[in-house]
Amino acid sequence: MEVFFPGSSKVDRRFAVEFVELREREPTLVGPASVTPFVVKHASGAPAYALRVEYGERVISYSGDTEWTESLVDAARGADLFVCEAYFFEKKIKYHLDYQTLRENRHRLDCRRVVLTHMKADMLHRHDEADMECAHDGLVITL
């Protein structure tokens, strides 16, 4: 953790911290949940992952910054909810998703619900054109 957050090992925490090593596409128990990482495409100095979290009968998949990659299809498969970025509406840039790419591939994301997040001003101004739900401050999701 010191590599990404210098000084963090010297902070007095009011809660226990447990580090769990995740391996690509290998489900790992983290407390009562099963977490499976899928490599995505983002330059961050360390491997970037989409995460699939299974808890009881529910599945949530999440991907932060990434450009389109087939591993998103696998991460979202059968999920109750897939949360992913839509950085721009249609502009394509390296390491980020745009809404149009997600829209073109929505039929391949075999999940019940998609919620878009991490939207830049371009996407925020055009969110009413999207046929996928856009996250907003205060959004509460019940599965």
- From residue 45, alpha-carbon distances to 20, 100, 128 in Å are 19, 28, 35
Q: What is the CA radius of gyration of the chain?
A: 16
Q: Check residue 100 and give its pLDDT.
A: 98
Q: What pLDDT is recorded for position 18?
A: 86
Counted residue by residue, the chain has a size of: 143
Could you tell me the domains of the chain? Answer: 8-134 (3.60.15.10)
- pLDDT at site 17: 84
Output the CA angle 8-11-12, nearest 5 degrees. 150
Q: Would you state the pLDDT for residue 115?
A: 98
The overall pTM is greater than 0.85: yes
pLDDT value of residue 44: 80
**Ranges of the chain with pLDDT below 70:** none
